[in-house]
Every structure is written in C-alpha cells, then in structure tokens.
Structure 1
Amino acid sequence: MIRFASTYSTKQTYRMGTIVLYPAPAMGHLISMVELGKLILKHHPSCSIIVLNLTNSHKSGSIVSYISHVTETIPAIKFHHLPKIPLDLESYSSSEAIIFDLIGRSINNVADVLRCIEPTALIIDLFCTSAMSAAANLNIPVYYFITSGACCLVKILYFPTLDRDYPGSFKDMNRLVYSPGMPPIPSADMPGPVLQRNSTDYSDFLQLANLLPKSSGIIVNTFDSLEPKPIRAITDGLCVKDQATPPLYCVGPLLADSYNETHECLNWLDLQPKQSVVYLSFGSECMFSIDQLHEIAKGLEMSGQRFLWVIRSPPTVKRGELFVPPDVVDLNQLLPDGFIERTNDRGFVVKKWAPQVAVLSHESVGGFVTHCGWNSVLEATRAGVPMLAWPLYAEQKLNKIVMVKEMKVALPIDAKDGKVAAEEVEKRVRQLMESEEGNIVREFVKARKDDAARAMSEGGSSRVALAKLVESWQTTRHL
C-alpha cells in the first residue's frame, strides 16, 4: 500500500490536471524538472504537480536540502519519495549505470504511485524510460523532458541509425560522425555513455533511443533561436527512421532564480570593475587532480586577469569508476605555494560552491570558464556572459562543438592527453577577456540573451510551445 505525505492523501485530490514529473536522481536533472513544474504552475495554476523522488541517490545530501527548500518556498509542488532500493555501488562501472539500474528496479513502485494518482500525464527524464511500460498499462500519456539541448536530442533520436551505420566502438573509430542538423562530431567526442559499444550504458541508451519516438511528445530545455538547425532537423522528421517524430516543445530556458542569495564572493564582486572578472566553475561532479588544479592556478596567475574560481577537492576514495571527495576543502594542499597571496589583489577562490546564477548575473563578470553542462550554458546565455568551453564528461564534448561552431557563444579550451596546460589557460582567458575574438563571442551571447527573454515573454516561442503542450494534455484527457 502506498502512503503519501500529509500534503496529499487521496486520489480524489488529484483527478484530472495532475502532472507527474519523474526526474533522474541527479541535482542538475532534478532542478531542471522542478523548474519545468514551476513554469507549468505559473501559467496554468489549475494543474497539480507531483515530483517522484528516488530517495537513495548516491549523492543525496544536496538533493535532500534542495527538496526541502522547494517544499518550503513552493508548496504547490509536491514530492513523493519512492522506496529505497538497496544498491552495491562498487559493482557499477559508471554513474549512468547506477541511475539506469536504480530507476529500472523502481518500476513497480512507480506503477503503484501512478495507479493511485491517475495523472493526466507523466513527464520523464531520459534515464526514466523504464516507466513507459508502467504508464502504458494504465493508459497514461508519457512525455520526455530533455534536460540537455536539442543538439543532444538529435544524437539520441538518430542513435539507432548511427548504431547501424557506424559498427564498432566510437572511442576507437577516429572518424567524424554525421547527424542531421549538426556539425560533424569526432567519434571520440560522442557522449561518454555510448563510446564503448559492448557496455551496458550503450545498450541502455540504444533502448532509450528506440522507445523515445513512441512517447506522446518531447519537451526540451532550449529555445528556438539558440539551436535552429537541430530543432529544424527534429521537426522535419530527419532524425527518426520509419516512424513519426513526436511533437517537440522547446520551452526554455528553464533556470533557477538567484532568490536574493548572499555569499562573500558577491561582496567581492561588488568591488570589481564592470565585466572585468572571469568566473571558473565546473559543475557539481567535477573533481580535478591536484596537478590540473596547479595548471589552472598557474595559467590564471600568468594571465593577469581578475578571477573568481570555485574549487572542489580531488577524489580520495574510489568505488569502481565513482569518486568521492573529502568533506573539507584545504586550499593550501590543493594550490601552488603562495598562489592565494600573490593573486589576492585580483582573485577570489571559493570552496565547493558559489551561487552561480547570481554570479553570472553580476555586472563585474565578463567571462565564464565552464564544463559545458547544459544548465550552465543556459545560465550564462541568459546572463549574456561569453564562455570558454572546457568539457569533462557525459555529452559535454558534443555541447562544446555546438557552442563554438553553431551558437558562437564560446571559445574552445584545448586539452592534450586529457590535460589542459597552464599556457593554454593563460592564452584562452586573455583571448576571452581582451581580444577581438572574445568581443565577437560577447556580441553573439548578448544577442542570445535578448532572444531568451523574448522566447519566455508573452507570445514568445517558448510560451507558445508551453501552451501547445498543455493543450495536448487537455486533448488527451477528453479522448
């Protein structure tokens, strides 16, 4: 028997108009899904939103804190916590393998919840494909929510064709991979989970790619003018063979607000000249080696630029391919001797976390060195901040190519043998902040900032797409 939180207790409370959101148990995916829920409620307050949460994420601490914050500030969004599934983390080869297995083993629990709630629609993360069968048995329409961009969606929809046309493992091919609406991608830059053909991640993503076109629609956290070519390729039906492509709804950019956050780094930014600071942050999953941290530090020092740098400790414990950092960040052990003292007049180093939306929105920030995670790309774009693209994992190498060659909102940082040298850091930071190339990128990203505002305004493309999405639920409800 399912027991709901006290905030909702009966099926009658959530008849028609209830939308269930099912994110992957990772912070970036959860935040994007919650922002989608907030957008729906803002423009269609008669809807009810319930978010399914897998309670035993292997990185649950920050997720629990975030859910608590949402519950306090947006009580209209309800969370249902699915039962914990026992996992032996050391037996998995990747984070993606953990998430796919955790979600797959939760399918009966999800079915029980859906049976009790009887929602109008189920919106699932890419990793939550196993929930499609449970929804189909209950005649509940399923929509996918893509937390990455349309460029990533092209690769997923076209993946069965790539699987057929490119035998072998992408990591070993040393050739270009072609997909509709996309620049050619070096095979080694394909998304991490599909690089090795005989891996479980590869087979999981192939299954996902075959099931995705069977959904009732695909929602993407992007906007029309940011990715016109991949969006056109999808809507023209060029990415899916032998069947229709589901309706596409580009409703972004969906991003968390800063909520008047306070942090000492913001006080420091207040004292810096306009657009003079380069901000470096590499997402919640990045843990550079000490050698790489030293190269970044040397490059920043040689560049002479003002900087705000968020640092996380390198891993100290290895579980399979999963790395766990220490709780305490000791900058004296991570950075070159005397670095902080020598750069004290123009640099600020932050341990573990900074309020990124507020930082990027600050007038003192003139550039962003990013790992190319899609949330970070959208946050910088919405703030009009040009980027240096330093991809690390997942689909980020793909994002980098599109950011540099198609969107033109970033300059590349080049790694050799997986490492970026201090000289490359110095060169690219100077280029972004001082050169004509940097100015060109700055103008492109400012134009996209204006486009993002228009897309989310009354009559804008993302607002129109949201209205069509809600209309599709109303049509389904009356069938």
Structure 2
Amino acid sequence: MKSTKPHVALLASPGMGHLIPVLELAKRLVSHQSFKVTVFVVATDHASIANSQLLQSPSASNDLLDMVLLPFIDISNIVEPDASFVTKIVILMLESLPFLRSEISKMEFRPTALVVDLFGTDAWEIADEFNMLKYVFIASNAWFLAVILHGPEIDRKEVDDHVKNQKPLNIPGCKPVKLEDTLDVFLTDPNGPFYQGFVGSGMKMALADGILMNSWEGLEPTTLKALGDAKKVPVYPIGPLVRPVEKPVLGNQVINWLDKQPKESVIYVSFGSGGTLSAQQVLELAWGLELSQQRFLWVARPPLENDASGYFFTVGNGSDGTPDYLPDGFLARTQDKGLVVSMWAPQVEVLSHPSVGGFLTHCGWNSVMESIINGVPMIAWPLYSEQKMNAALLTEEFGASIRAKAMELDGLVGREEIKSMVRRILIDSEGQNIRARIKGLKNSAAKALTEGGSSYNSLSQVAEICIQHLKTKSYGA
C-alpha cells in the first residue's frame, strides 16, 4: 500500500527555542500542504516537555500531526554538570538517534523526508537507510546560516586575525562579523572539539537536499542572494514561523494587568526560556526600570553567576513566590507602575497586546520574530549563542532596536543606561521612528506568508520535491 501524500518527520532538539518553530513548521506543512507530519521531540527530563503547554495546546492537535516524545536519556554520567548547553544538546541528540530509528522502522508509512536542525545532522544515516530526503531547518537568520556554511572554509589565520587582532570575519557576500558580535565557537581552540564540531556541522549541512530557515526574502535579501550565489545547497526561506495568539486562559494575571494599561505604554522585559543574569545585573535592571518611571512587565528569574543560559532546558509556568533577589522595597515602590512575574509569561499574547510599546529582549530569534510580527520595537540585550549577531542585525541592518551598552570596567549594563533605553523606546521620538520601521517589517512578513508570497512559494517548492520523491519510491510496511 502506498501513501498518496508525503509524510515528513521533524526532529526537534531540546529547548523551547528549538521546539516552538519546529511545531509551527509542522502545522504549516499540515495546513498548507495536507502532509502527514510526525514531530520527534528529544526530552530534557522525564516530564517537563511532555507536560508543556505547547504539546497540549489545541493548535498542536490534528489528525495529520503526531507528536512522539522520545525516551528520556540520563546523560549525567556522560557530560560534566557544568558543561555548556550546546554540549548537552549534542550528546542528547546523539544518544536519541537509536530511538528515532526504532520509531521510524515501526511506521506503516515511513517518512518521505527527514527535517533536522543544526544539531541533528548525525541523523543523516537514518535518512539514507530509509531513503528519505534530508533537510535542515535553521530556526534563525540567513547571516547566521552563512557563517555556518562557510565555516569549513575559514582557515586558522583568519580566525586568529579575527580574535587576536579584532579584525572583522569576512563572509562572502555578507555583512562581516565584528569581534563583539562573533559566535562563541570562534573564541575556542580551532583544534578543539567545539570548533571541529562546528566545522563538521557545516560540511554535513552542505550534503542536505535543502535548508529551510526562519526568515524571508524581504528581511535579508542581500544575504539570501549571497547564499544562492554560493551554490552550496538550496536555501528556502519560509518564515516567519511564530506561534499564533491563542485565547488566553481566563483570569490570567499578566493579561488582566495589561488590559488596565494605556496603549503602547509598557516595556516587556524577558530574556527567553533560558536567559539568566548575575545578581548584580538583576539589581541594576530593577533600579533602571524603577528610575525610568515607565510601566513594565518583567519576567524575572533567580540570578545565576557565570551562566547566561542557565535555564535553557527549563519548561514551566513559573511560580507564585515573591522574588527575594530584588532590591529592598522594589515591589512596593513600583506596584503602581510594574508587574514582576516569576519564570514565565505568555509571550505571544503579551507582544500582541495593545498596551505593550517595547520589548527588552535577549535577541533569541523566536523572540525577534514574535516582536516583528506584532510591530513591537526592541531593546537588544544579547546573552549567548548567535544572539549578538541577531542584535547587530536588529540595530544596524533592520533599524528595529536600540542596543544595550555594557560598562567597560565590570561588563554590567548600568541602571542609567537601562533607564535611558526604556525612555528612548517608549516616549522619545527615536522609539517612534523604530516603531514605524518595525511595522514596515511586519507588513513585509505578512506579505511573504500569503499565497503567492516568497515564503509561501519557498515551502511550496519543498513540498513539490517531496511529492516527486514519493512518486518514485515505494513506502509502507
């Protein structure tokens, strides 16, 4: 028996920043192409992702969409407790591959294509075994993708000039990468496992049938043209992929508070699902918000020293406990101006609320996309991964944000800087100019997603390749 529609398998790396866009890609393949889609989720612990609202929400329920939570794997005896989140992701992905293979082998209609992210290219062996097309999904921008694809060609002298002599890293046809914006991998030993893994990832990506990415032609036309001219691998910009606004839970504290605030009067402060600040930086942020005398909604987390991604694997809905790490009297003094919530807030619903006038963000690409499609100007405060590159794009290329400046002596973003940035975004003419530019990007994104738009057409091209592949192969039990 042969399926009449392609079946696409998506492998989602650990972390909500990876899972959210993968789920949105899955839903788009179902709604636009009527494909059968199975999302394989790599668990970070026994219950957190399985219990997350994302997997239980109505939008994740569809006869053509299956969610398969791969078994939890305890890697505590493989990696050190203080290993980077990237190392933990890589190990979890490798250890999960036998379970992925087992699940696919049991399927009545095996997938036509396997889509992985940059941490999942070791699954190519499974794709080859079951005669599947191989795609990579980059949940980020074209500039970041260009650095990865050209990574294998960058020699040691270029890296040394970049790091030791602070020379920009030249990427063919693209904006050079300044040292202050560079990826952490370039600051490591070029002969070490982290750098070699980065190079290997770029080489494996070049073997894919194509790369899907969460951007669109109108956002990054020059970089996308450079990627096309390089002819390494076909690139399909299909974004923005963003979770849609769903009906808020009745009685939600955050939405109820926002309902009472004036239009575009609130700065929303959140460092994503994993971002953390030091204790001193949390204090400076609190004082800066208070001194700004502007309304704020702050998703606060307990501070962690020396680990900006300390909550990367955390999934949850926060806590009702009162934060004990804020300045004495802060909550009482700001009760008429601000709301502090612990750990989590319904971000898409927040950014789409008319009272929100700015977003202080860590520049994770999901958050950037959510802010753009809701027309909310940003304060860029990058923490880790490619977020510094994202901040440079937002500020220097898109004109969609202002960027936080740390003090040279201690590396902290001071309270006076925070006060100034909040006021610039919410009440100064600079913020109004940024708001106008970002609303232009919002319109561009909407146009790309409509039928006949660039992102719609890109996904349709991938769908047609899958259909043709299915016609030439025999699938089934």
Counterpart among 335, 348, 358 of residue 357 in structure 1? 348
1:102-142 deviations in Å (ceiling 9; x for gaps): 21233333333334433110111110010012212332110
Query: How far does residue 459 in structure 1 lie from its aligned partner after superposition?
Result: 1.3
CA contact (8 A) 2:54 2:60 kept: no
Q: Which amino acid aligns with 1:177?
A: L
- Name the residue aligned to 1:158: 150
Query: What pairs with 1:380-399 in structure 2 (closer than 5 Å)?
Result: 380-399=371-390
Is residue 431 of structure 2 the alignment partner of residue 438 of structure 1?
Answer: yes
Specify whether residues 421 and 120 from structure 1 end up closer, same or farther in structure 2 by C-alpha distance, changes over 3 A only.
Answer: same
Question: Please, which moves more after superposition, 374-383 or 76-85?
Answer: 76-85
CA contact (8 A) 1:372 1:396 kept: yes
- Name the residue aligned to 1:240: none
Q: Which amino acid aligns with 2:279?
A: I
- Name the residue aligned to 1:87: 75
Specify whether residues 358 and 26 from structure 1 end up closer, same or farther in structure 2 by C-alpha distance, changes over 3 A only.
Answer: same
- Name the residue aligned to 1:127: 119
Is residue 331 of structure 2 the alignment partner of residue 344 of structure 1?
Answer: no
By relative contact order (CA 8 Å, sep 6+), the higher-ranking structure is 2
CA contact (8 A) 2:425 2:431 kept: yes
Question: Please, which moves more after superposition, 435-444 or 449-458?
Answer: 435-444
Gaps in structure 1 of 5+ consecutive residues: 1-11, 238-243
Counterpart among 42, 58, 61 of residue 54 in structure 1? 42
Secondary structure of the equivalent of 1:25?
A: coil
Q: Which amino acid aligns with 2:418?
A: V
Q: Which amino acid aligns with 1:413?
A: A
Secondary structure of the equivalent of 2:402?
A: strand
- Name the residue aligned to 2:398: 407
Counterpart among 289, 303, 307 of residue 296 in structure 2? 307
CA contact (8 A) 2:16 2:313 kept: no
Specify whether residues 200 and 138 from structure 1 end up closer, same or farther in structure 2 by C-alpha distance, changes over 3 A only.
Answer: same
CA contact (8 A) 1:276 1:306 kept: yes
Secondary structure of the equivalent of 2:422?
A: helix
Counterpart among 67, 89, 94 of residue 99 in structure 1? 89
CA contact (8 A) 1:97 1:200 kept: no
Q: Which amino acid aligns with 1:365?
A: V
Structure 1: distance between partners of 2:312 and 2:244: 30
CA contact (8 A) 2:215 2:240 kept: yes
Query: What pairs with 1:8-407 in structure 2 (closer than 5 Å)?
Result: 17-45=6-34, 47-55=35-43, 57-58=44-45, 61-62=48-49, 64-66=51-53, 68-70=55-57, 73-76=60-63, 77-88=65-76, 89-90=79-80, 93-117=83-107, 118-168=110-160, 172-197=164-189, 198-237=191-230, 244-262=231-249, 263-315=252-304, 330-407=321-398
Secondary structure of the equivalent of 1:176?
A: coil
1:426-458 deviations in Å (ceiling 9; x for gaps): 111111122232222111100011111111112
Structure 1: distance between partners of 2:270 and 2:311: 20
Question: Please, which moves more after superposition, 303-312 or 435-444?
Answer: 435-444
- Name the residue aligned to 1:429: 422
Q: Which amino acid aligns with 2:23?
A: V
Query: How far does residue 48 in structure 1 lie from its aligned partner after superposition?
Result: 0.8
CA contact (8 A) 2:45 2:72 kept: no
Structure 2: distance between partners of 1:59 and 1:175: 45
Query: How far does residue 328 in structure 1 lie from its aligned partner after superposition?
Result: 5.4
Q: Which amino acid aligns with 1:469?
A: V
Structure 2: distance between partners of 1:143 and 1:179: 23
Secondary structure of the equivalent of 2:413?
A: coil
CA contact (8 A) 1:311 1:349 kept: yes
Structure 1: distance between partners of 2:162 and 2:83: 18
Query: How far does residue 60 in structure 1 lie from its aligned partner after superposition?
Result: 5.4
Report the TM-score, using the length of structure 1 for normalisation: 0.89
Specify whether residues 447 and 63 from structure 1 end up closer, same or farther in structure 2 by C-alpha distance, changes over 3 A only.
Answer: farther
Query: How far does residue 65 in structure 1 lie from its aligned partner after superposition?
Result: 2.0
Q: Which amino acid aligns with 2:198?
A: F
Secondary structure of the equivalent of 2:38?
A: strand
Query: How far does residue 72 in structure 1 lie from its aligned partner after superposition?
Result: 8.2
Secondary structure of the equivalent of 2:80?
A: helix
Q: Which amino acid aligns with 2:8?
A: I
Specify whether residues 257 and 194 from structure 1 end up closer, same or farther in structure 2 by C-alpha distance, changes over 3 A only.
Answer: same
Specify whether residues 182 and 120 from structure 1 end up closer, same or farther in structure 2 by C-alpha distance, changes over 3 A only.
Answer: same
Secondary structure of the equivalent of 1:362?
A: coil
- Name the residue aligned to 2:475: none
1:209-264 deviations in Å (ceiling 9; x for gaps): 01111100110111111111211111121xxxxxx422221111111122111321
Structure 2: distance between partners of 1:317 and 1:105: 28
Q: Which amino acid aligns with 1:113?
A: E
Q: Which amino acid aligns with 2:39?
A: V
1:292-335 deviations in Å (ceiling 9; x for gaps): 111011111111111111101124999x9889999857545211
Secondary structure of the equivalent of 2:13?
A: coil
CA contact (8 A) 1:144 1:218 kept: yes
Specify whether residues 66 and 322 from structure 1 end up closer, same or farther in structure 2 by C-alpha distance, changes over 3 A only.
Answer: closer
Structure 1: distance between partners of 2:363 and 2:60: 29
Structure 2: distance between partners of 1:82 and 1:221: 25
Query: How far does residue 394 in structure 1 lie from its aligned partner after superposition?
Result: 0.6
Specify whether residues 444 and 321 from structure 1 end up closer, same or farther in structure 2 by C-alpha distance, changes over 3 A only.
Answer: closer
Q: Which amino acid aligns with 2:369?
A: L
Q: Which amino acid aligns with 2:334?
A: T
Query: How far does residue 25 in structure 1 lie from its aligned partner after superposition?
Result: 1.4
Secondary structure of the equivalent of 2:48?
A: helix
How many residues are aligned here?
459
CA RMSD of aligned residues (A): 2.6
Query: How far does residue 373 in structure 1 lie from its aligned partner after superposition?
Result: 0.3
Q: Which amino acid aligns with 1:93?
A: A
1:157-199 deviations in Å (ceiling 9; x for gaps): 1111224552449655533212134333222422234431344
Identity %: 36
- Name the residue aligned to 1:453: 446
